[in-house]
Chains A and B, each alone.
Chain A
């Protein structure tokens, strides 16, 4: 019997998620934006596992979802960093507001 209420976990992940939201919307460096994205993903993963444990104890669906989410996140991060490296080669910095050659 776990003594930690479900609500505690959920508040925790909520804080983590919205910290990630804030970071995503306010940072200038592309890598830090990606890092905030990681925060959001992690918060979601914790949510899946928590709901699995508290609401569906006999099954493993939530854990597996979190597993695959981690895998996908890794792949996506790799590609994103490859793109960022490419951008860096072209404009010599990686600030989002500087990537504006094709904007009006």
Chain B
């Protein structure tokens, strides 16, 4: 019961704020709404029992990426600027694509909704996550871990190279 209430609260937050984020005129407000969406997402993770993921979401996404966005917004425009709304010619295809895509997804979901069993509650412990991350057997993720570290290295160097002052 409690689970359902929490879920619906989080769901409403996500839906409302994501729509507001994409339609808002002011950039900083859009960024703030996005922050709320990300926090609610983290909450969803926690609801499902993945605490590690909850932590990562908050620290990386809400804490790192959103800060990056806000910095760049402040760098490239005045915070109070109202963004000029795009013309109808742009909004209509966008809306059309979104609606059609959503209709298709909805159809698929409802077509298959009764084929799924109810879930068991699982809560992966840190030990399990750690062993899986550092292991080299089947279902274990050492290689992707190393790969992503190289990716992050490349990304750091690339970012510095692109954005340095000439």
- B contacts with A: majority SS: helix
Q: How distant is the Cα of A75 from the Cα of B158 in the complex, in angstroms? A: 10
Q: Determine how close the nearest CB of chain A comes to the CB of B70; give it in whole angstroms.
A: 10
CB distance from B71 to the nearest CB of A (A): 8
| Contact of A63 with B124 at beta-carbon distance under 8 Å, contacts A71-B152, A75-B151 already known | yes
Knowing A11-B109, A94-B77, say if A2 contacts B158 (CB, 8 Å): no
Q: Can you identify 26 A-B contacts, CB atoms within 8 angstroms?
A: A1-B119, A2-B3, A3-B4, A5-B113, A7-B110, A18-B101, A20-B22, A23-B21, A35-B21, A38-B34, A38-B38, A46-B45, A49-B53, A54-B117, A57-B122, A63-B129, A68-B144, A68-B148, A70-B56, A70-B60, A74-B60, A77-B69, A79-B158, A82-B162, A93-B76, A94-B76
Which B residues form the contact surface with A (CB < 8 A)?
Answer: 1, 3-4, 7, 11, 14-15, 18-19, 21-23, 27, 30-31, 34, 37-38, 41, 44-45, 48-50, 52-53, 56-57, 60-61, 64-65, 68-69, 72-73, 75-77, 83-84, 86, 90-91, 93-95, 97-99, 101-102, 105-106, 109-110, 113, 116-122, 124, 128-129, 132-133, 139, 141, 144, 148, 151-152, 155-156, 158-160, 162-163
Q: Known A31-B27, A94-B77; judge A14-B93 contact (CB<8 A).
A: no
* Residue from the list B76, B102, B116, B120 in contact with A31, Cβ < 8 A: B76
Structural contact, B68 and A81, CB atoms closer than 8 A: yes
Give the residues in chain B near A79, CB-CB below 8 Å: 155, 158-159, 162
Interface footprint category on A: 35 or more
A8 interface residue (CB < 8 Å to B): yes
Contact indicator B22/A28 (Cβ below 8 Å): no
| Interface residues of chain A: helix, strand, loop or mixed (majority) | helix
Taking A2-B48, A70-B57 as known contacts, 16 extra A-B pairs with beta carbons closer than 8 A to each other, sorted by chain A number, are A7-B110, A8-B7, A12-B15, A14-B106, A19-B98, A29-B77, A31-B76, A35-B31, A38-B61, A38-B65, A58-B122, A64-B141, A72-B148, A78-B68, A83-B162, A86-B163
Question: Which A-B residue pairs are the 6 nearest by beta carbons?
Answer: A23-B22, A25-B94, A75-B155, A82-B163, A26-B94, A22-B98
Let me know if A46 and B73 touch, CB within 8 A: no
